[in-house]
Every structure is written in structure tokens, then in C-alpha cells.
Structure 1
């Protein structure tokens, strides 16, 4: 059997996050594949995408939407339905849109989560959805978007989930089972390091590290409050709509930096005392990225962290995303004698080679079933 023609899809490529790192892993696995998406902004996502052949939807002609992709939400179902992909297998990395792209061949969906704005609206908005203007808009759009979403999901030939909790969410949303294939960690410890300006003075004593988009459901504000009265420092790497609010909230022992490249991110992980992961994540790569540097993590006992953190071996859990709970978890981190080699070994089991092998096996099965 000849090698199938593979194409890759992703909702929109306008930011830097775990899902985008998974897409980069797919491009390394299929270096000749064309990448299809609704919106692409080279300035706000990972620079490696510049080396990939990318085909966008007509929405990409609107500059404002490339820099404010959330404003495109009412148009994305329409745009996604008009993406046509000529391939034997389309590997669609989806959190709500790419699973609706049309293809001449088979469609394999790698699901980071069924659409949060449909099925977890309060989490997505960070407050009771009905209290905000965008919540009212979403409520008005929900019936039509929900019908579109379920038709798109039913059109897939195979569904994969990135974590156990997402497999359960897929079952609840669509009524079918999805195999769990964990994503690979995205930051290798072997590359070059570049110090972060104004943070080098913190290296001697170390610091706690949060790597996160600055959005309401990420609970970064609670991590800030957890260290407000501590002697230790907190470095936050990320960008998002809460940037100004969190900058105003931050005490002197907290610093927030954005537009950080991989060299600087490696440096940040290398010199951290421990990493804080305070949000409910579908999977959440941060504990594994910390792990490849031998750093323990204090993580919320929920979501994908239940798959990626081994309590007492690679980190500790806290039960609620509240400052007091996070502070207690940091006390546990400081009191424990961590084995860096053991942490690294655990993270290595989530490497890119394992991810590639799993996907290869699934694609082979799909092609054999098709005959």
C-alpha cells in the first residue's frame, strides 16, 4: 500500500499554546503535509509555522480577525464549512472548528476539547455566562452552532481525545467513544537558553513559574495571591486579555512577561524552583514541560492533570483553585525531597516519539479498514 496523502488542520493559528505545539508536532511527523486553518497570524504564534505551507479561509483577509480571533466566532462555522481539503487522511486538531473542515478522504479528529463556548460556557467566560454581553451573544448562537457542531463531529471517521476527561466530554457531547492519545510535551530541554531580561537577579534563589494564557478560567490571579505574602518570587509567562488587570494586581515579588520564545522559556523552566498549574485544563502540557527539566509541579486536582501528574513523584495536587490551597501546595513542594531524575523519567514517557507511533498506528488502521 502506498503512503497516504496526509493533510493537517487546526481551528486557527493565532496564538501560542499547547494545542499549537501539538500542531507543530504533527508538522514534524508529516513534513510534506499542507496545514489548513481559518485564521493565521505569523506575528502572534510560534515562528516555526513560517516554514509550513498554510492554506487559510476567506476570513483571513480581514486583518482585525487575525489579531482578534474571538471576534470571528459568529463566522467560524461558516468559514470552517467552506474549507475543502484534498487528501487521503485529514488529521484535524480541533477545539471546536477544524473537525468541520471538509475533505475528499478520511477525517481523523484529534480533539483537545469539544467547544468550550457550547458545552462549558461558564468556564470559557470565567463567570456566569448569562451575565455578560458575550454570554448573551453566545446564548443566541448556541442552537445553530450546536447543530453545526454535532453534524461536524458525526462526519469524522475516527475521534481521538487528548486526555481521559476529554474522552468523557466527547461521550457526553456526541454520544460516542474516543480513544485517548496523550499529546507530547512541546519544549525540549536540549535547545539553547536565553535569559529573560530583569529576571536574572532571581536565579540565585529560584522562583515559582506559571506558564499560561492570561484568561479568566486560567486562575492566574489566584497564583499571584498565593505568593503575595511569601518570600519567594513568582514569574508568569503568558499573554491574554487579563494582562493589564494582572499587572495591576501583581506585588513586587511577581513579574509577568509575554512574547517569550522557546530559548527564553527553556531558561525560565531551568531556573524555576517549581511550577504552578492552577487551571482546569483539557490536558495541560505545563507539568510535562516542567518535568523534562526535573521540576516538580503544584497542580489543580482536575482535568488533564490527573493524567500527567503523579502525586508524590512528579508533583502535588491542590483541590480548589484558591490562593490558600495553592499556598498549602507550595508548602508541600518545599517540604518534599524531589528526585529530579525520577521526574524527568516520568515526563519522557509523554515524548513525541510515543505520540507519533500512536498516530501512525491509528492511520494504518483507518487505511486498512478502507481497503
Structure 2
């Protein structure tokens, strides 16, 4: 069976790109089609992949101002030459599912399975998305004019997909609400250590995240500042200056950290704080894989991954008071590192690969 993989764009090191890297490892002969790639921002597993890009790859200006050209990518994705494959797996949070797929070598219609990280956030959650991308009022107003078109385009191109996979229960509900399509939930792959050495926890709470406003890192910073609790913040992004301006002396911003250094901080944290609503959220499970708990807002992907009082605690309101109270509870709770690690294994890479292979069997029977 000839297989092709399609992804929106490979220019950041995120959870969606981890999925693509795992798919590439599962199907190393399958080429990866994408709008553009930044070779410096590829997971190491992708370094040997046959990556086929669009004409955008040669346009330096577009790459340097990538976010401004969101309106162009619905057309660009259709130019990728995806022809002659029996199965196409698209990894999509915006454009990938809309790829134009030609017939198989024997002239039959190929199977298209879409692993959906979320329906197009720009179209369905415009205000939250644009807040993180531009502060220019004119650009916001112009962008808003395109929202009705993008919604129609997003719904129409969903019809190109034979089978949807959702990365979480909340995304599955969105697929049903926006596209009126059913989907199978297959959680993204998480690298869980087989038998970690559990470290003695330190006195600090931890945030590991890209620093953008919708992730609500400000809530963790304000809560730990008010309660004078030690907080380490790993990551960088456009919201860093604002966060530093509201942070007290108990907060340390560590910026970018190597994977090895990040894991060391994870292994010794009192708990990871996960204050925003995410489509899924791989980082909390990485922390769980090292035996440490999570304090998570009760919404989004955390509803699938956090079992209250086993591998973490929920807080119900995105307020400083509610988070501070939950952080105190997490400090007093008796956590069992072995139980936390055992729970995290339910989301490991092997589970993902097994579920994907089962889905492909369903597709072959079509």
C-alpha cells in the first residue's frame, strides 16, 4: 500500500509535529507533504524524511511573515502534488485536510484519513486566536472579514475526508458540531520512560509552555506571586514581557531549555501547573511519566488525561484564588509516583501506534 502523509506546515516544534514524526517512523517510506518546512525546527525523528513542500518554500518574505499570509494557504495546500497513493493521512489543525488528492495508480479513489488536532481555530475561535497574533487594529478588522469565508471553506473541505480521528474528546465534539462528522478519539503519542528513577521533589511548581496569552500562564504567575510560592517558567514567546511585569520575586523565567534540562526540571517539580484550556496537552503527561503530578484547569484535553487525585488535581475556576487553593492542596496530597507513571503509560507511543494501525485496517475494509 502506497501511503502519503500531509501536514499543514513544519515550522515549529509542537505536539502536532510530534504526531507527524511518529507517523513518519511508522511509515518511513511515505513522503511528507507540507506547505513549508523550517529545517531548524524539526523533531530529530524527521531529519531523514522525504519532505515535499509548496512553492511558498522559495518565498523568503512569506516565510519571514508567515502568520500574515493565512488567507493564502487554503489555495496553496491544493497545489501539493499528492497523486498515486492508496492512503493519505493528513495531520491537520487548519489546512492539511483540504489537500487535493489524485487517484491511485490503478485509477481508484484513495482513502483519506484525517488526524484532526482541532477544526481551524482561526475560523471558529477568531478573537482568542488573533489576540496572540497581532495587536494592529486595522489588520484585525481585515482578518475578521475573512472569517465567514474560512468557516464555509473549512466545512466544505471536511467532506474530502473519509475518516476523522480526533486527538481528544473535546476535539471530537467540535468535529461533530462544526462538520457534522463522527470521529474516533486517538490520543497523541507521548514519550513515557519505561522505568524512570523517581527523583525527590523540589520545592518549586513548574510551567512548561509557549508564552502566549491564551495559555493563561499569567494565572500561574499571579497565583504563585500572591502566595509567594516558587514557580519556574520554561519557554518563551510574545507574552513574556507582560508576564515578567506582573511576576513577583518567587517567579523565575528560564526561557528555552534543552530537552535534557527540561526533563530534569520536570522530574523534580512539586507539580506542573496547566492553567489554560488546550485541545489535548502532552506536557502534563510527560511530567506524569516522570512520576510528578499536575494541577490543571478542568477543561479541554485535561478532561481526558487527568484523573483527579491520582495523577493530578483540577481547579474549576480560572481565578487566582481557586488556583492558589488547589496548589496548597497539591502540596499536602500524598502522591504515588508509581501510580502516576502507570497512568501515563496509557498515553504512550506504543498505544498510539496500535490504535492508528487498527484505524488503517478499518480504512482498508471500506
With normalisation by structure 2, the TM-score equals 0.90
Q: Give, in whole Å, the separation in 2 of the partners of 1:307 and 1:207.
A: 26
Partners of 1:311 and 1:126 lie apart in 2 by 32
Partner of 1:97: 95
Alignment map for 1:140-155 (pairs within 5 Å)? 140-155=145-160
CA, structure 1 residues 151+28, in 2 after alignment: closer, same or farther (shift >3 Å)? same
- Aligned pairs, number: 355
Q: Is the 8 A contact 2:7 2:20 kept in 1?
A: yes
Q: Distance in 2 between matches of 1:204 and 1:317?
A: 20
Root mean square deviation, CA, Å: 2.4
Partner residue, 1:120: 125
> CA, structure 1 residues 67+341, in 2 after alignment: closer, same or farther (shift >3 Å)?
farther
Selected match of 1:237 from 207, 213, 234: 234
1:71 aligns with 2:71: no
| 340-349 vs 229-238, greater mean Cα deviation | 229-238
Against the structure 1 CA distance between its residues 318 and 60, is the aligned structure 2 distance closer, same or farther, given a 3 Å change threshold? Answer: same
In structure 2, list runs of 5 or more residues that go unmatched.
103-109
Q: Indicate how the Cα distance of structure 1 residues 153 and 282 shifts in structure 2: closer, same or farther if over 3 A, else same.
A: same
Match of 1:159 in 2: 164
Superposition pairs for residues 53-72 of structure 1, below 5 Å?
Answer: 53-72=50-69
1:1-371 alignment runs, 5 A limit: 4-86=1-83, 87-104=85-102, 105-126=110-131, 132-186=137-191, 188=193, 205-369=202-366
Instruction: Quote the offset at 1:126 in angstroms.
Output: 4.5
Change (3 A) 1:312 1:100: same
Cα distance change of structure 1 residues 62 and 189 upon mapping to structure 2, 3 Å threshold: farther
How far residue 205 of structure 1 moved from its aligned partner, in angstroms, is 3.5
CA distance in 2, matches of 1:187, 1:16: 18
User: Structure 1-normalised TM-score?
Assistant: 0.89
The gaps in structure 1 that reach 5 residues or longer are 193-202
Q: C-alpha offsets along residues 289-341 of structure 1, whole Å, 9 cap, x if unaligned? A: 11101110000100110000000111001112222222111111011000110
- 1:26 deviates by 1.4
- Partners of 1:56 and 1:191 lie apart in 2 by 39
Secondary structure in 2 matching 1:74: coil
The list of structure 1 runs, each at least 4 consecutive aligned residues, that deviate by more than 6 angstroms after superposition, is: 189-192
- Residues 92 and 99 in structure 1, CA contact (< 8 A), matched pair in contact too: yes
CA distance 1:65–1:238, shift in 2 (3 Å): farther
Once residues 135 and 90 of structure 1 are traced to their aligned partners in structure 2, the CA distance between those partners, rounded to angstroms, is 35
> Per-residue CA shift, 1:187-242, capped at 9, x if unaligned?
657799xxxxxxxxxx9834211121211210011111111134432122223221
In the TM superposition, what whole-angstrom CA distance separates every residue of 1:49-99 from its partner, at most 9, and x where no partner exists? 333221111112222443443222111111112122232211111111111
Cα distance in 1 for residues equivalent to 2:267 and 2:222:
24
CA contact (8 A) 2:192 2:344 kept: no
- The aligned residue for residue 106 of structure 2 is none
What is the rounded CA distance, in whole Å, between the counterparts of 1:169 and 1:310 in structure 2? 23
Pairwise CA distance, 1:157? 1.0
C-alpha contact (below 8 Å) 1:16/1:46 kept by paired residues: yes
Distance in 2 between residues matched to 1:251 and 1:190, nearest whole Å:
37
Structure 2 residue matching 1:235: 3-state secondary structure: strand
